[in-house]
Amino acid sequence: MQNIKESNAKWIFAGYCLWISVASCVVDQEVMAQNKLSSEEIFALEDKYGCRNYAPLQVALTRGEGVFVWDVEGRRYYDFLSAYSAVNQGHCHPRIIKALNEQASKLTLVSRAFYSDQLGKYEKFMTELLGYDRLLPMNTGVEGGESACKIARKWGYEVKKIPQNQAKKALKDPNVAAFMVEPIQGEAGVVKPDTGYLQKVRALCTKYNVLWIADEVQTGLGRTGKLLAVEHEGVKPDILILGKALSGGVLPVSAVLANNNVMDVIKPGTHGSTYGGNPLACAVATEAIKVLLEDKLIENAARLEAVFRAELEKIPKSKVNVVRGRGLMFAIVIDDSIPAYEVCKRLRDAGLITKPTHGQTIRLAPPLVITEQQIREGASIIQKVLEDFKK
Ligand SMILES: *Cc1c(COP(=O)(O)O)cnc(C)c1O
């Protein structure tokens, strides 16, 4: 009897536990359901609690795959901004996510106080690919640019022998250390210099012993139909800055590349970054670059340039004054009679997202995994939306 009672009690206890776990499961689902925020609620949260350093287009995204993203209500959009060209390889590329997961479960960060089995391999791969002696691993594009300037200043004082605190102004000035330029200006609205400009920059910098720094954070890694935009003019900068697509939109990873005569001004203890060159970043960046090369995304961008341009040029000049771009880095300048922000809202409603940059300019830069049929479909959405603005 005693035994039966005991086992009954056990069963009652087990049943009670089961009930609790089932009940808490229901509660969990309710909490989960409550956490499913609507687009409107998501806009309100950022607006109330965040620093207002951006004015995002009103679309609340929850998932991405290739050229597409989905909002929390399940609507699908063509992504024609690609996180300012960070997602050249397409959203959540399976090979890059696999590399991320594999490395994340092994080792993520050791700091540069120690060696890791990932950093040297990655540096060798990147320097051989791009033809430089050394790579400085950083995290964001801004850090890459700042590091390049610091290297150039140190080079100016230590190698070129500019007197202290004199590194300024025009190239002829013997106190100038470096000239920094984007081969195509991205944020300024995809502004291309005249043909031959980069060759002249190279020649002048060589003549006056000034370092040429190319900021290829946005133009680099296939975006313009070449691995680097400077390749269009067959020139090589002294210092190259990469970022954005270096990780395929997975992590902030940037890099500064230069030869020994420049990079060797950096000595142990003169430049640091806790996360720079972490094993996770190295594994992800290596895979992101392999995807770019092996999936022939650079060739794809080069091939689709003409298709995209031809489609965009079908839009009447009264609505789109200018179409400019290279590879899959395009911009259209909307006529002053049509507000560009309103165009972007209507594009969103028609299933394509991007944002205006500098007033009337709208950047169009889909992931480089886009197919010809998809680029035509994207272009037809743009054509249709602009057609509907009555003039
Ligand atoms: C985006 C960008 C940067 C800055 O990169 P962050 O990762 O945002 O710091 C620098 N230069 C160019 C050309 C860029 O497009």
Q: Which of 262, 291, 6 is nearest to 155 (CA)?
A: 262
- Measured between alpha carbons, how far is 83 from 291 in angstroms, rounded to an integer? 18
pLDDT in tens, 322-342: 999 999 999 999 999 999 999
230 vs 33, higher pLDDT: 230
- Measured between alpha carbons, how far is 147 from 35 in angstroms, rounded to an integer? 41
pLDDT in tens, 334-384: 999 999 999 999 999 999 999 999 889 999 999 999 999 999 999 999 999
Over residues 186-197, mean pLDDT: 93
Alpha carbon distance, N-terminus to C-terminus of the chain: 93
* Residue ranges matching CATH 3.90.1150.10 in the chain: 63-91+297-388
Cα Rg of the chain, angstroms: 26
21 vs 328, higher pLDDT: 328
CATH superfamily, domain 63-91+297-388, is: Aspartate Aminotransferase, domain 1 (3.90.1150.10)
Q: What's the predicted TM-score (pTM) here?
A: 0.90
Task: Name the residue at shortest CA distance from atom 3 of ligand 1.
Answer: 141
Helices marked H in 36-140 = 39-49, 82-85, 94-104, 119-130
Give yes or no for a contact between 205 and 212, defined as CB atoms under 8 angstroms apart: yes
Q: From ligand 1's centre to the CA of 186, what distance in Å?
A: 9
Lowest-pLDDT range of 23-27, 245-249, 331-335, 369-373: 23-27
CB 319: neighbour CB atoms within 10 A? 18
Q: Is the CB of 383 under 6 A from ligand 1?
A: no
What distance lies between CA 184 and its chain's CA centroid?
Answer: 15
* Residue ranges matching CATH 3.40.640.10 in the chain: 94-295
Percent of the chain residues topping a pLDDT of 90: 85
- Measured between alpha carbons, how far is 44 from 184 in angstroms, rounded to an integer? 36
Q: Is the CB of 84 under 6 A from ligand 1?
A: yes
Indicate the top mutation candidate among 54, 244, 275, 357 to test ligand 1's pocket, ranked by most ligand atoms within 8 A of CB: 244
Does the domain at 94-295 match CATH 3.40.228.10? Answer given as no
What DSSP designation does 193 have? P
Give yes or no for a contact between 385 and 347, defined as CB atoms under 8 angstroms apart: yes
- Measured between alpha carbons, how far is 282 from 122 in angstroms, rounded to an integer? 6
Band (pLDDT 50/70/90 cuts) for residue 273 is very high
Indicate the top mutation candidate among 140, 142, 273 to test ligand 1's pocket, ranked by most ligand atoms within 8 A of CB: 142
Residue 337, SS3 per DSSP: coil
Task: Name the residue at shortest CA distance from atom 11 of ligand 1.
Answer: 217
pLDDT in tens, 119-151: 999 999 999 999 999 999 999 999 999 999 999
- Which ligand 1 atom minimizes the distance to the CA of 187? 15
Q: From ligand 1's centre to the CA of 142, what distance in Å?
A: 6
Cα dist from 302 to 46, 226, 229, 299, 355, whole Å: 38, 7, 12, 5, 23
